[in-house]
């Protein structure tokens, strides 16, 4: 468990998650997104939010943990309202989601003040696999009061899917790399397997 009250710890965590997110995005682009979601209890559930920068207007990609609940998708900004992706969604709530079952247009709504916030938040944190316990928030063990205290600054976001998305530029857009890797590595493997004379 990481103590967030140590000076510099939160910023170090943010930087660490930023690096991890680049790796997670690469896995989605290589077509491995659905495989990332094969063990939600251990590794967590992952999606990618495709959104626009509120200042630049440029397309941004943010992998986050999520929970599917009653047909909608929920996620949390664990670093609170300062999270860039969360602020971008406040400026432009119409996004694209990359999910294991495909790409979707969706509309984001902050539901941090919902009456059932703790129930929803607990499900999202369970969907984070190892990440929430690493941050000191064990959704399986904490009481509602303890969870409310530990996640007081978390923002809860609901995504309502509006339409499927097709076409280029989605998950798996780098899947063409795999045949090249095989073409490169196969001759090397065959050369090593040749019997010695």
Within 8 A by CB and 6+ apart from 1, the residues are 133, 134, 135, 136
Within 8 A by CB and 6+ apart from 33, the residues are 27, 46, 48, 98, 100, 171, 172
State pLDDT tens for residues 6-58.
556 667 766 777 788 899 999 999 999 999 898 888 889 999 999 999 999 99
The model's pTM is: 0.85
For residue 1, what pLDDT is reported? 37
For residue 194, what pLDDT is reported? 67
State pLDDT tens for residues 135-183.
789 999 999 999 999 999 999 999 999 999 999 889 999 988 887 877 7
CATH architecture designation of domain 9-172: Roll (2.30)
Q: Where exactly are the structural domains of the chain?
A: 9-172
Closest CA to 65 of 114, 4, 130: 130
Which CB contacts under 8 angstroms, 24+ apart, belong to 18-26? 21/62, 21/63, 24/48, 24/63, 25/61, 25/63, 26/174
Q: Look at phi and psi of residue 44 and say left if phi exceeds 0, alpha if psi is from -120 to 50, else beta.
A: left
């Amino acid at each position: 468990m990481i103590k967030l009250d140590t000076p510099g710890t939160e910023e170090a965590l943010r930087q660490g998650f930023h690096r991890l997110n680049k790796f997670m995005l690469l896995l989605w682009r290589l077509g491995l997104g659905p495989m990332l979601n094969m063990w939600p209890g251990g590794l967590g559930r992952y999606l990618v939010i495709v959104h626009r920068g509120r200042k630049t207007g440029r397309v941004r990609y943010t992998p986050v943990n999520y929970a599917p609940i009653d047909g909608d998708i929920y996620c949390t900004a664990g670093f609170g309202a300062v999270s860039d992706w969360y602020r971008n969604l406040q400026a432009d709530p119409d996004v694209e989601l990359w999910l294991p079952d495909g790409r979707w247009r969706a509309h984001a709504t902050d539901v941090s003040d919902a009456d059932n916030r703790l129930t929803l938040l607990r499900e999202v944190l369970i969907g984070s696999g190892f990440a929430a316990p690493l941050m000191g928030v064990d959704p399986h063990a904490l009481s509602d009061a303890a969870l409310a205290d530990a996640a007081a600054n978390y923002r809860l976001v609901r995504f309502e899917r509006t339409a499927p998305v097709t076409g280029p530029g989605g998950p798996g857009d780098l899947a063409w790399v795999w045949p090249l890797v095989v073409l490169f590595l196969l001759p090397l493997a065959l050369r090593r397997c040749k019997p010695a004379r």
